[in-house]
Amino acid sequence: MSEKVHCLIIGSGPAGYTAAIYAARAGLKPVLYTGMEPGGQLMITTEVENYPGYPKGIQGPQMMDEFREQAERFGTDVRYALISKVDLTGPVHKAWTDAGDEIEADAIIISTGASAKWLGLDSEKRLTNKGVSACAVCDGFFFRHMDVAVVGAGDTAAEEAMYLSKLCPNVHLIVRRDEMRASKIMQERVLKTSNIIVHWNSVTEEILGDTEVEAMRIKNTVTGEEKVIPVKGFFVAIGHKPNTDIFKGWLDMDEAGYLIPVPGSSKTKIEGVFVSGDAADKVYRQAITAAGTGCMAALDAERYLGAKGIV
């Protein structure tokens, strides 16, 4: 199959759906490909309490259903397939689904998001959303007044530990080496915070608990000593991987693969290609910020298509 559209949106988290709402209302007739995880990272979240407009909170999957419904209400064509290849030579860009269908697009909005990295333990998988989380800002509140653990030693782990230290009596930071990778200032803050207990040279052997996290077993890789520490929340902060592999060679990205837009906009160095959401954000990574940049991308796309006289 081959077809031509004005506005192709790749990805279906808050960024993609918000871009779709704006693009559809502007008459761009967007076609949105959801990717392999329709709804994105919010589909593996439970309660979202920090998105304005939901005063009682909302389940992540329900929120994404409502975003999709809103996008469809204005005519977005939502398709449950993966875009696996692009050709951004232009002026009309091309994309292909993994089934080999070709789509030509005057404008492309990238909102492919990022995926949290996990340790890969069976117990981690089993207890995800039952105390295991990859986002302290999203889920930390549920563990206030309880002891928690954070795994990782980068800026994210340091920020998450600092955030949790204000809510929880004790935060156990599990660092696999004898030093942290986080920026010096963040390290200093962590080390100066009395209720953050750093376990150096330590790896998680198992997260314990049947229906919810109750403790973790960690091992010191230098001494071989094992400890079981009671915690209710277990936060994995060992980095994210932006889902941008298909854009390698076409668009500017940093060494981790995050797309780099023209500052202050959603534009890229290629005309008619716009970025939004976590695919271009390694700092904020919130549903609300992703939605905000999705809106920016749709407005930039609309202006671009208008200036070219396409719509």
| Binding status of residue 138 toward ligand NDP by CB under 6 A | no
Q: Which stretch binds ligand NDP (CB under 6 A): 17-25, 88-96, 147-155, 243-251?
A: 147-155
Q: Is 139 a catalytic residue?
A: yes
CB 104 within 8 A of CB 91: no
Among 271, 283, 303, 306, which residue sits at the site for ligand NDP (rule: CB under 6 A)? Answer: 283
Q: Is 7 a catalytic residue?
A: no
| Binding status of residue 278 toward ligand NDP by CB under 6 A | no
| Binding status of residue 48 toward ligand NDP by CB under 6 A | no
Q: Count the helices and strands in the chain (H runs, E runs).
A: 7, 19
| Binding status of residue 189 toward ligand NDP by CB under 6 A | no
| Binding status of residue 280 toward ligand NDP by CB under 6 A | no
The residue among 106 and 159 lying less far from ligand NDP, judged by its C-beta, is: 159
The residue among 60 and 152 lying less far from ligand NDP, judged by its C-beta, is: 152
Residue for token digits 């930039």? Answer: 300
Q: How far is the CB of 208 from ligand NDP (least distance, A)?
A: 18
Site size with ligand NDP, rule: CB under 6 A: 17
Q: Is 138 a catalytic residue?
A: yes
The one catalytic residue in 7, 65, 98, 139 is 139
Three-state DSSP class for residue 304? helix
6: Cβ–Cβ under 8 A, 6 or more apart, which residues?
Answer: 28, 29, 30, 105, 106, 107, 305, 310, 311
CB 228 within 8 A of CB 123: no
Burial 33-62 (b: 16+ CB within 10 A, else e): bbbebbbbbbbbbbbbeebeeeeeebebbe
Among 75, 154, 230, 292, which residue sits at the site for ligand NDP (rule: CB under 6 A)? Answer: 154
Q: What is d(CA 152, CA 203) in angstroms, rounded to the nearest whole number?
A: 10
Q: How far is the CB of 54 from ligand NDP (least distance, A)?
A: 25
To which H or E segment does residue 215 belong? strand 215-220
Q: How far is the CB of 284 from ligand NDP (least distance, A)?
A: 9
The one catalytic residue in 87, 101, 122, 135 is 135
CB 43 within 8 A of CB 60: yes
CB 148 within 8 A of CB 231: yes
Q: What is d(CA 304, CA 311) in angstroms, rounded to the nearest whole number?
A: 9
| Binding status of residue 25 toward ligand NDP by CB under 6 A | no
| Contact set for ligand NDP, span 197-256 (CB under 6 A) | 238-240
CB 114 within 8 A of CB 256: no
Site residues (vs ligand NDP, CB under 6 A): 119, 151-157, 159, 176-177, 181, 238-240, 282-283
- Residue positions annotated with a catalytic role: 135, 138-139
